[in-house]
Amino acid sequence: MSDLPIEIDGRRAAPLGMPPARFLRDYWQRRPLLIRNAFPDFVSPIAPEDLAGLACEDGVLARIIEHDRAKDRWTLRNGPFPEDAFPGMPDHDWTLLVQDVDKWDADVGALLDAFDFLPRWRLDDIMVSFAATGGSVGAHVDQYDVFLLQAHGRRRWQIDARPNPPTDFRDDAEIRLLRSFTPTHEWVLEPGDMLYLPPGVPHHGVAEDPCLTFSVGMRAPSSAELIGDWLDDILAGASDDVRYRDAGIAPPKDPWEIDADAMSRVVEALNALRMHDPDRLGDWFGRFITLYRASGEAVSDGQPHTPDEIASALDAGAGLYRHPWSRMAWRRAQRGARLYVAGHDLTLPIRDAQRLARAAHVDATLYAALSQAGRDALVVLLDAGHYRLLGGDDIDGMDIGTDDDGLP
């Protein structure tokens, strides 16, 4: 497959320029791909001044990276930033990066629907960066898949697509920059162009002029993170009765030796703690992945609700709107399904779990289609802060910013 193109035009089959199954077979986690016109005639749903305003809000993860070219010195500052920080910035060689913009801006969040060819629980966030002319974060490498969508202005991207490129980091910078970077490909991306990079591909982007870039990143926990959380879950439910046992052993030839038979019994003791129950293992992963890398959390407003109250409000035109930090996924269980919400789980009929997992907004029609178990689950989720009940006037007044519980 070495003859596969690394650059294509996506206009006829946006956003990938090919059927999703072909992209997943030939490119996903295998090789980079530049897709020209992935989003034809793209207009950024957020302006640079809006991004700067968001970077000044409490609870927003924002960074500014500046580069002194003369000394090749990189400086990192973390937000939130004072409102007077940006008017005094130079017109070159700096970048503002804001995480989770999809949670704060509904129009940015709507872009995630274009990536439904991937499991939704794999999508992490949309980071938006504004770069002044010459702005960059340096040559670096990510350990997760990323789609880099050019939203405004132009950015020059260089990548090293060789097998096993050098990935040693510099020890003189606050950020993880590559010590050595030798590009094999170079492009200038225009608005609507998108560069896909699998994990481990070194890359370097520099703004040709003031520009916005959207980075759609994937959730990719390391094996160490998975094992650590999995063991915590196992140990939380472990019984002291499960112990190392050696009934029936023969007298040892050397009492000080840990022999092969002893090590076999150690393995047996550890295996007794393993999750042989698929539901228990699935429940652990569902809770873990819907909470992994969450930068915020839903908070209850302390007001209890009833199914009848919700039904009346929805019939009157209100809607239930999911908190942007409340990630959901579902899984078929031995009986029915399990719905996972920001590290918690609920047992539901399969159709209810399917509907709620994809429902960022619940209206009267969807509510009526749920079983009683589904409606009861919505009450639990609403009371926990994972949804908010809003009328038309409330929705029209929503803006970038937060109320006391962090909900835009």
Q: Average pLDDT across each block of 10 residues of the chain; the chain has 408 residues. List them in order.
A: 88 96 98 98 97 96 96 95 93 97 96 96 96 98 97 98 95 93 98 97 98 96 94 84 89 93 91 76 94 89 90 96 96 95 97 96 96 96 96 50 35
Query: In this structure, what token pair is assigned to residue 349?
Result: 């009929």
Q: Tell me, what's the pLDDT at 405?
A: 36
Q: Both 213 and 314 in a single domain?
A: no
Please compute, for residue 294, the number of CA atoms within 13 A of its CA located in the half-sphere on the CB side.
19
pLDDT (0 to 100) of residue 176: 94
What confidence score (pLDDT) does residue 394 get? 57
List, in order, residues 6 or more apart from 138 with CB less than 8 Å away: 65, 67, 74, 173, 175, 177, 178, 204
Q: Provide the domain count of the chain.
A: 3
Does this model's pTM top 0.75? My answer is: yes
Q: Domain containing 286: what range? A: 278-408
- 26 secondary structure, DSSP code: H
Clarify whether residues 266 and 397 are in a common domain: no
For residue 73, give the CATH number of its domain: 2.60.120.650
pLDDT of residue 167: 94
One domain, residues 173 and 200: yes
Same domain, 339 and 291: yes
213 and 257 housed in the same domain: no
| Pair 299, 350 in one domain | yes
150 is a domain residue:
yes
- Residue 1 in any domain: the answer is no
Euclidean distance between CA atoms 284 and 278, whole angstroms: 10
Report the Cα 372 to chain-centroid distance in Å: 32
Residues 62 and 178 in one domain: yes
Does residue 230 lie within any of the structural domains?
Answer: yes
Q: Does some domain include residue 123? A: yes
* Residue 392 within a domain: yes
What is the C-alpha to C-alpha distance for residues 334 and 153, in angstroms, rounded to an integer? 51
271 and 282, same domain (yes or no): no
Identify the pLDDT of residue 407.
Answer: 34
